[in-house]
A = this chain, B = another copy of it.
Amino acid sequence: MNGEHSATTDERDEQTTDDTRTQTMTTDRSRLCRTFQTAPAAVPRENTAKYLDSGLSATGFQKPDWLVPDIEDGTAPDMKSEALDNVVDRLPDAEFVGEVWPRVEWSYEDERFRDRGREQIRTLVREVGEFVDGVVVPKVGRLDDVKRAERVVAEAEREYGYAEGSVGLSVIVESARAVSDLREISQWGGESRLHGLVFGPVDYTAELGGRELDGQPPTWDSLLWRLSNEASANGLVALGGPFDRLFGERAGVRFYNGEAYADQVEREAQVGLDGSWSLHPNQTAQANRVHMPSPSELAGDVQRIESFHEAKGDGTGAVVVDGQMVDEATYKNFVNTVETVTVIHEVAPEQTTTLYDEELLDRAFDLDL
C-alpha cells in the first residue's frame, strides 16, 4: 500500500525477459499474496464501509496480504458510487500494512461495464493512486481484452502523474476466452504491469454451462494446474477462487465451515497456487497459515542451509543433510523457504513471531543467502 512498485516491476521484467537469469520464483515470493480478501466496499448498513473498515484494521493471522475493496459483484448496483466514495475516503488514513487492490467493474462482452470500470479506475488513480497497489479487473476475455484493460490503467497513471508501472493490474480468469488465451495472456503479462491471475469459478462454471449435480460443483483441477504453471513460467502470482459456503449447519447449530475451506486451500497450495481467495476473517486466518512454511519446514531448511555453508567452507562440493544430497539446485529451494518467511515477517511480524520460535527466526535471519 505504497509507491514502491515501479522498482519491483522493473526488477521482475528484467528477470522474466531473459531466460538465463536467476529463477523467477524468488520474485514471485517477494510479491506475497497468500490471501486475497474481498470486502464489499459498500453494504446497506448504518456504516456502509463496515466490511472495508474491518478488513483495513484486521490484525494477526486475520490480516490479508491483499485487501480487495470490492466495487463489483459484492456491492449492490445502486451502491456502486457510494462504494467508490468509501474506498477514496478510507484508504488515505488506513494503517493497513499489506497491499490494497480494489476490484472494479468490467466485462469482455458488455461495453457498459467497461465504461463504468474505466471511470472507477480513473477515479481511484486520481484520488488515491498512491494508496493502491493496483486494480483487479474481472470478466476479462481474450488477450486483446486484457490489453484493453491495461491501457485504461496506463492512461490513468500517465494522466495523473504516476510513474509508469506504479499501478498494477490483476485479472480474474473466469471466461472461456481468457482460459483459451491463458498462455498468451500470461506470456504478455510477464512483461507488463500484470501481477496476478485469479480464478473466478462461479462465472466460469456458468459460462461453460457446468452443472452442480449431487451437490458437487466442478472443481476445475486442470485449470488450476494451468494457472499455476503459466504464473510460474512468467513471474506472476496465481490465486484460487472464492469458497462461498461459509457456514454449515447440523442438528440446529450453525458453524463456520472451516474443514471444507481448509481442504480447498490445501488443494490449491498443493498445485502451487500462491494464495487463496478469502471472504471472511476466518478464511484469511486459515489461508495465511496454509500458504506459509510450517515451523518444521522452516527449521529443516535453515539447518540444511547452515550445513551447506559449513561444507562449502570445508571445500567439499556435495553435502548430504538428513540423507538428502544438497546441490545448488536443491539449495535454491531451501533459500526460497527462508525468503518467504522474511517477506512475511516484513508485512506481518505478528504472524511469524506467533508461528515460529524466536531462536529459529534469529537463525533464519542470520543466514547469509
Point out residues on A near B: beta carbons under 8 Å.
19-23, 25, 28, 73, 76-79, 107-111, 141-142, 144-145, 175-177, 179-180, 183, 186-187, 203, 205-214, 216-218, 220-223, 225-226, 228-234, 266, 269-272, 274, 290, 316-318, 325, 327-329, 332-333, 336
Contacts and interface: CB of A to CB of B under 8 A. Distances in A.
A13 to B, nearest CB: 16
Nearest to A220: B225
A272 B210 contact: yes
A81 to B, nearest CB: 11
B270 A210 contact: yes
Contacts of A325: 76
Contacts of A223: 225, 229
Contacts of A25: 206-207, 209
Contacts of A231: 176
A183 B217 CA distance: 25
For the complex of A and B, 8 pairs with smallest distance between CB atoms: A208-B272, A76-B318, A77-B317, A78-B317, A176-B233, A176-B232, A210-B272, A222-B222
Contacts of A109: 19-23
Contact of A208 (B217, B221, B271, B328): B271
Given A180-B230, A213-B270, A327-B77, A110 B208 contact: no
B211 A232 contact: no
7 contacts: A20-B108, A23-B109, A25-B207, A25-B209, A180-B230, A205-B272, A213-B270
Given A20-B109, A79-B318, A211-B269, 14 more contacts: A19-B142, A22-B109, A23-B207, A73-B327, A77-B328, A78-B318, A180-B233, A208-B228, A208-B271, A209-B228, A209-B272, A210-B270, A210-B271, A220-B225
Copies in the complex: 3
A179 B233 contact: yes
Contacts of A79: 318
Given A142-B19, A223-B225, A230-B180, A209 B270 contact: no
A246 to B, nearest CB: 12
B213 A111 contact: no
B209 A19 contact: no
A76 B320 CA distance: 10
Contact of A270 (B216, B316, B327, B333): B216
Contacts of A142: 19
Query: Which of A111, A176, A183 has its CB near the most chain B CB atoms (within 10 A)?
Result: A176
A357 to B, nearest CB: 22
Contacts of A203: 329
A145 B19 contact: yes
Given A222-B222, A271-B208, A213 B266 contact: yes
Contacts of A220: 225
B229 A179 contact: yes
A97 to B, nearest CB: 23
A343 to B, nearest CB: 13
